[in-house]
């Protein structure tokens, strides 16, 4: 075998080795991931260990779970548009003295400025859900920044909230690049450890359905995702809060989450 051929074979082997050993997030920072998790059942903690993106979330300091040694809960709502139930949800939160974070889109900001003002006045956080709800894993860095900055610039004069700290990627789709760019802008990306199919307004199943779906997944350190368009959520929220408290849980604002647990 000639020396030239030996060098060629060695070079090809080295390239193959690098391809197989380089983490996906490093090789392709634009690779999209759809957030998913193993649900909590019978007190067992939820997990993202089998989903293949734990390292990407850790690297970019994203949140999906709080301190699992404390019976603390974090309520989060996605507000893409208004369906007539957000005021009711705010009434329940006010009456039960429970804080939440509302992730809003540009459509909601322009359409519901009074609700935004009320959220801030009553002590809730306003989070960024992007201006036009695109798949942020599929757009360039400039577009990511524009999507987030538009929301911030519109929300600030309405609420006085100078710095938006939290981001929920639309539809739970993300990439290493998307998380990195938003983190550089000062955002913590927030996913969830309790959720159910509540966003389909044509298939609402009643308060008992919402109640069971949330309570069956309850666990310490839970970040709960609810959609404010759901009539089921609006009806069940008060009972969920009351019965969670009976089990010893405390509701806290997301900016009080002190530790990030990955499982």
Exposure string for 99-119, b = 16+ CB within 10 A, e = fewer:
bbbbbbbbbbbeebeebbebb
Beta-bridge partners for 166: 188
Whether the Cβ atoms of residue 102 and residue 252 lie closer than 8 Å to each other: no
Whether the Cβ atoms of residue 47 and residue 37 lie closer than 8 Å to each other: yes
Q: Which residues are catalytic?
A: 78, 227
CA 169 from centroid of its chain's CA atoms = 6
Q: What is the Cα–Cα distance from 249 to 236, expressed in whole angstroms?
A: 17
Q: Which of 65, 63, 56 is nearest to 28 (CA)?
A: 56
CA quadruple 218, 69, 96, 154: dihedral sign: negative
**Whole-number Cα distances in Å, 20 to 7, 30, 115:** 20, 18, 51
Instruction: For the beta carbon of residue 14, count every other beta carbon within 10 angstroms.
Output: 10
Pairing outcome for strands 250-251 and 72-79:
parallel
Instruction: For the beta carbon of residue 76, count every other beta carbon within 10 angstroms.
Output: 23
């Amino acid at each position: 075998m000639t020396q030239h051929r030996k060098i060629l074979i060695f070079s090809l082997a080295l390239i193959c080795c690098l391809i197989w050993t380089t983490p996906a997030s490093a090789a392709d920072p634009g690779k999209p991931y759809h957030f998913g998790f193993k649900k909590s059942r019978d007190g067992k903690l939820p997990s993202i260990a089998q989903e293949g993106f734990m390292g990407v979330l850790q690297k970019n300091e994203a949140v999906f779970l709080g301190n699992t040694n404390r019976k603390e809960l974090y309520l989060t709502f996605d507000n893409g548009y208004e369906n007539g139930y957000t005021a009711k949800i705010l009434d329940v939160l006010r009456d039960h003295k429970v804080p939440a974070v509302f992730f809003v889109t540009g459509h909601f900001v322009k359409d519901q400025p009074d609700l935004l003002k009320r959220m801030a006045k009553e002590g809730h956080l306003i989070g960024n859900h992007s201006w036009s709800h695109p798949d942020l894993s599929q757009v360039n860095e400039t577009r990511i920044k524009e999507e987030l900055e538009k929301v911030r610039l519109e929300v600030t004069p309405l609420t006085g909230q100078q710095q938006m700290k939290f981001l929920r990627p639309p539809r739970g789709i993300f990439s290493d690049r998307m998380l990195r760019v938003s983190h550089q802008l000062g955002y913590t990306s927030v996913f969830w450890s309790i959720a159910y199919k509540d966003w389909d307004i044509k298939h609402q199943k009643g308060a008992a359905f919402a109640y069971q779906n949330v309570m069956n997944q309850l666990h310490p350190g839970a970040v709960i995702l609810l959609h404010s368009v759901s009539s089921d959520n609006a009806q069940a929220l008060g009972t969920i809060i009351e019965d969670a408290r009976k089990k010893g849980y405390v509701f806290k604002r997301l900016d009080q989450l002190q530790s990030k647990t990955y499982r």
